[in-house]
Structure 1
Amino acid sequence: MVTVPEYGVPEYISLRYMDGIEITRYDSDTRRVVPVAQWMKKVDPKILEEQTETSRGLESTVKFYIKLEMIRLNHTEGYRCVQWMFGCELRDDGSTTGYAQLGYEGKDFLVLDPVQLKFIWLTDEAQSAAQTLNGPSLQVGERMQDYLETECINWLRKCIGYGKEALNKRVRPKVKVSDQTVNGVAKLHCQVYGFYPRDVDVKWQKNGIDVPSYEAKHILPNSDGTYQIRVTVEVLVEDREGHSCHVDHASLRHTLIVNLEPKSGSNTVGIVIGVLVVVIAVAAVGFIVWRKRSGKRQTLGFFYALNIACYMALQI
């Protein structure tokens, strides 16, 4: 494997999230799973040791896989990046679901079809890899789906128990509205920040009628575990009066409404948006578990099969 020690970036990084909160971290330098969320420090050390062994097995698999793809695609020089992301969800009604997808060089490569239990190739270059994984003697897709439905869900239930208090907290959002005028068009900004949980509905209205926003609405994390979002609409300057921002969130009993001041002269939003940038070089794995959403049968069955698949493909 090619490393980039001059940048201080581990060759392999594995992160686990729950409801958008990073709960554990593993990398090729420490080779141990360590708790990140405060409440995860209550986890039995034996469980963390089990997760460490699983992560080491996955690290070996991903490293082997990236070597395979470099040979297949004749990428024998430079830096290469594999991103392996999978997760499961436990819904309020008790039903479960999961997903798995793989990226190569920053592009979508393979995705698991949970119905056919096969990996679907998303580029022509990925076809050979998918056919190897889907081979009748390996059936890696079935093993992956089994992992998502058992071990992943069981692990998620444990995490819910450890972090129940933190995950059930409700933090009321703060709201700031402002506007700026550019070439006769008024941009109305509604900045909502400091809220938890993540789900929120923010929209602009005028006289009770929704005003559509054509900008993407991105919910971003804050360093303290809360979230923020900005929703912007464009209106004619002479039509800016009477607008209000409406916020619905689990922490609120009623919709929070903040009116745009009639003669606001603000040209700035007034809130600095913090952006967390995570650099993952060469080989990276994200394990994502969402709300009431993580298990143990055939713990390493999928990873073992994937290693076999990579080995067999190298012999082709």
Structure 2
Amino acid sequence: MRAPLPLLLLLIVGVSGVYSGHSLLYFQTMASVPGYGLQEHVAVSYLDGIEISRYSSDFRRVVPVAPWMQKVEPEYWESETRRCRSNEIKLKHNAMIELIRLNKTEGLQSIQWMYGCELRDDGSTRVYYQVGFEGTDFFILDSDQWILIPLTGQAHITTERLNGPDERLAERNKYFLENTCVSWLRKYLENAKEELERRVRPEVKVSDQTVNGVTKLHCQVYGFYPRDVDVNWQKNGIDVSSYEAKHVFPNSDGTYQIRVTAEVAAEDREGHSCHVDHASLDQTLIVKWESQSSSNTLGIVIAVLAGVLAIAAIGFIIWRISSGKKNYAQTGTSDNVGSTSASNA
């Protein structure tokens, strides 16, 4: 059984709001079916939301995904392969112990571990270390105190052990997160400079939809790069509140898409326009809503999202990571799951 791509993590982590900086994030996902011996493991790394390398339990080697990763020396791939093989063994073993401790002995179980670093435009850095269990945040790292913070009642026992003098898991990973990770991030940015500096102009479509007497205006912006984008609705030059959250989703070709929706009175659609600001544009792109706008654009959105949901149906339960909304850097792990350190992962 081939482990599905942990793509949805990228749809959730840091996808809303304006982003200013660069990130290197590592994701490990383990799925198992207790009693059937099925254990699948995938480890994927992302630079600014672009998949750059991958390891899976069916292939058992780290391989480059982004073309420019070929610039990295051969020794790197051997080292990363050893690291991921070791992590796979640890994560599978410790995950089974955790499942037994929590009496989770039936159905598809999943554990997802995210760690990495971020380099802001102002030169500051931020680190991440977090584990989700069965679709729920388990605990995170407080990088001010370098201790693990439980997010569920079941995680208290785990954090007490991992914060204890015998483990000190957070402190043991401090150097990797603050130094090694940032060093690799800088190197990757240099190798990927041409790719990251490219500019792809967005396509914009507007449509309307009325359901149960509620009319919504949709602005679908797609095929753009880089990810930073500002999209909003206006009526006769005045901003209109968007009632649906703005989420930027990655496309398979490395570009992005976003849909912004405003709720209006059915008889009040005239005069509305979608305004898009992006690095590829010399000026704000304005697309007016017109009565002949059809629901075809909505079909594009539904088709894309349907593909994403299909991956989720096959894969694992995803937990929500709220990046940029807390005063401390986020990370986490689960009881014995947490014993797998980033520096050895």
TM range (shorter): 0.7 to 0.9
Match in the other structure for 2:16: none
Kindly state the Cα deviation for residue 237 of structure 1 after the two structures are TM-superposed: 2.2
Kindly state the Cα deviation for residue 164 of structure 1 after the two structures are TM-superposed: 1.0
Counterparts of 2:337 and 2:73, CA distance in 1? 26
Change (3 A) 1:77 1:242: closer
TM-score between both structures, scaled by the size of structure 2: 0.76
Asked if structure 2 preserves the Cα contact closer than 8 Å seen for 1:195 and 1:227, the reply is yes
Asked if structure 1 preserves the Cα contact closer than 8 Å seen for 2:31 and 2:39, the reply is no
Name segments (4+ residues, structure 1) moved above 4 Å.
1-4, 182-185, 278-282
Change (3 A) 1:259 1:120: same
Matched letter for residue 115 of structure 1: D
Asked if 1:51 corresponds to 2:53, the answer is: no
SS of the residue corresponding to residue 138 of structure 2 reads: strand
1:222-237 to structure 2, matched below 5 A, reads 222-237=251-266
Kindly state the Cα deviation for residue 170 of structure 1 after the two structures are TM-superposed: 0.8
Match in the other structure for 2:331: none
2:339 corresponds, among 287, 291, 306, to 306
The structure with the larger Rg is 1
Higher mean C-alpha deviation, range 266-275 or range 239-248: 266-275
Change (3 A) 1:53 1:28: same
Asked if 1:171 corresponds to 2:200, the answer is: yes
Q: Identify unmatched segments of 5+ residues in structure 1.
A: 291-302, 309-316
Match in the other structure for 2:248: 219
Kindly state the Cα deviation for residue 82 of structure 1 after the two structures are TM-superposed: 1.1
Counterparts of 2:205 and 2:134, CA distance in 1? 39
Asked if structure 1 preserves the Cα contact closer than 8 Å seen for 2:110 and 2:316, the reply is yes
1:199 corresponds, among 221, 228, 232, to 228
SS of the residue corresponding to residue 124 of structure 1 reads: coil
2:300 corresponds, among 260, 263, 272, to 272
SS of the residue corresponding to residue 130 of structure 2 reads: strand
1:208 corresponds, among 234, 237, 242, to 237
Higher mean C-alpha deviation, range 187-196 or range 138-147: 138-147
Kindly state the Cα deviation for residue 61 of structure 1 after the two structures are TM-superposed: 2.3
Matched letter for residue 121 of structure 1: P
Matched letter for residue 86 of structure 1: Y
Asked if structure 2 preserves the Cα contact closer than 8 Å seen for 1:138 and 1:305, the reply is no
Change (3 A) 1:161 1:72: same
Asked if 1:257 corresponds to 2:286, the answer is: yes
Asked if structure 2 preserves the Cα contact closer than 8 Å seen for 1:184 and 1:236, the reply is no
Asked if structure 1 preserves the Cα contact closer than 8 Å seen for 2:54 and 2:63, the reply is yes
Match in the other structure for 2:15: none
Asked if structure 2 preserves the Cα contact closer than 8 Å seen for 1:181 and 1:267, the reply is no
Counterparts of 1:142 and 1:196, CA distance in 2? 37
Kindly state the Cα deviation for residue 23 of structure 1 after the two structures are TM-superposed: 0.8
Asked if structure 2 preserves the Cα contact closer than 8 Å seen for 1:180 and 1:268, the reply is no
Match in the other structure for 1:188: 217
Change (3 A) 1:47 1:202: same
Kindly state the Cα deviation for residue 131 of structure 1 after the two structures are TM-superposed: 0.9
Change (3 A) 1:306 1:186: closer
TM-score between both structures, scaled by the size of structure 1: 0.82
1:111-153: CA deviations, max 9, x gaps?
A: 1111110111111111111111101132111122321111111
Match in the other structure for 1:41: 70
Counterparts of 1:14 and 1:54, CA distance in 2? 11
1:115 corresponds, among 132, 135, 144, to 144
Change (3 A) 1:143 1:280: farther
Change (3 A) 1:12 1:184: closer
Change (3 A) 1:157 1:10: farther
Higher relative contact order (CA 8 A, sep 6+): 1
Counterparts of 1:260 and 1:176, CA distance in 2? 9
Kindly state the Cα deviation for residue 156 of structure 1 after the two structures are TM-superposed: 1.1
